Amino acid sequence: MNIKALSVNRDIDLALFSRYLYQSSVLHRINEVGAEQEIWVNSELDKQKIQSLYGAFSRGEFELQDNGIRSERASIAAQLAKILKQAAASPFILTLILANVICFPITLGIETGNQSQWLAEFTLLSFNVMNNQIYHADLAYTLDTHQYWRLITPMLLHFGWLHIVFNLLWVWEIGRRIEQLNGSLVVFLLTLTTSVTANLMQYWMEGASLFGGMSGVVYGFLGFGLCISRLAPSIDLGLPKAIYGVMLGFLILGFTGVIDLLGLGNLANGAHLGGLLAGMVCAIPVALSAKIRAKR
């Protein structure tokens, strides 16, 4: 199959359309290339058929002969196969998500004053609780005693189910795209860099406090994707522009204090800003590398 008939965004699920094509006796192959999915065929006639059928498919003007329970099971199986394929192509992001899930119990009970013995080992600064007051060490002590893991581990702490679910959904949605397009090493280094920068920026802006979560890294992924889309469109993540607008708007809103006044929790605004800036910086060498490869 050597004729490209159609190219669509990778977010579009082509499983049903593929079945529709086979039902219409159109042999084809679907490849994922960057942020796009490409449908390839053997002849110009099939190319014209696919373009016509996709128009009908997009408008919902089609009918599958294989319907009912069998069709539903096939659709579920196709979705499961797609998820497994994405997971296999994103081993680091999958490991990162599992690590966060495993560490989630560390913060359970903190709202009632019960701290896990592990909590003080994962925060940026070690602390002691005396007379219901938390006393933190300072950053200089942390570095002088070589507790360097603390620069990273706050990203594994989440305070509530909503906190962890919201963050990990974004980690999966954006992180897997970065890993699939740039490799596990790039997303690994990006995660470390944005995590350290986010934690230090939060400390610099807010001082000693209990904070954690993957949101700083998520903003790092967003900053990376935003710069890549401008500097190297060939490896664009394929995220809708509206997502960048909403997340940046949420960042700005956090600095106004409105969210805190509404009682929706204290946001780690410094971590968000630090992660965003670090992600943008990390995108520069990756974009330059992509341009060099393209020239070759």
Residues 107 and 12 in one domain: no
Helix (H, G, I), strand (E, B) or coil at 21: helix
Where does a domain end: 87, 107, 129?
Answer: 87
Residues 214 and 235 in one domain: yes
Residues 154 and 260 in one domain: yes
Residues 160 and 255 in one domain: yes
Residues 136 and 282 in one domain: yes
Where helices occur in the chain by DSSP H, the ranges are 15-23, 44-58, 68-88, 91-103, 119-122, 139-144, 161-170, 176-182, 184-206, 215-231, 241-256, 258-261, 269-295
Cβ atoms of residues 125 and 150 within 8 Å: yes
Residues 232 and 152 in one domain: yes
pLDDT for res 71: 54
Residues 81 and 228 in one domain: no
Residues 99 and 60 in one domain: no
pLDDT for res 75: 64
Residues 49 and 122 in one domain: no
pLDDT for res 191: 98
What CATH number is given to the structural domain containing 135? Answer: 1.20.1540.10
**Residue ranges making up the domain that contains 74:** 3-87
pLDDT for res 262: 62
pLDDT for res 149: 95
pLDDT for res 155: 96
The closest of 101, 157, 167 to 124, measured between CA atoms, is 157
Where does a domain end: 62, 87, 112?
Answer: 87
Written as one letter, the residue type at 276 is L
Cβ atoms of residues 277 and 248 within 8 Å: no
pLDDT for res 68: 47
Query: pLDDT tens per residue, the chain (296 residues)?
Result: 678 888 888 778 787 788 778 777 788 888 887 778 888 888 888 888 888 888 777 777 666 665 544 555 656 777 777 777 777 888 999 999 999 999 999 988 776 666 777 888 899 998 877 777 777 888 999 999 999 999 999 999 998 899 999 999 999 999 999 999 999 999 999 999 999 999 999 999 988 888 899 999 999 999 999 999 999 888 888 888 899 999 999 898 888 877 766 655 678 899 999 999 999 999 999 999 988 887 77
Residues 216 and 229 in one domain: yes
Residues 202 and 237 in one domain: yes
pTM of the complete model: 0.72
Residues 59 and 185 in one domain: no
pLDDT for res 1: 61
What CATH number is given to the structural domain containing 23? Answer: 3.30.1370
Distance between CA 118 and CA 124 in Å, rounded? 12
pLDDT for res 124: 92
Where does a domain end: 87, 113, 140?
Answer: 87
Helix (H, G, I), strand (E, B) or coil at 79: helix
User: Domain tally for the chain?
Assistant: 2
pLDDT for res 203: 93
pLDDT for res 175: 95
Distance between CA 152 and CA 285 in Å, rounded? 22
Catalytic residues: 215, 272
What's the CA dihedral at 67, 69, 71, 74 to 10 degrees?
-170
Angle (nearest 5°) at CA 239 between 33 and 84 = 60
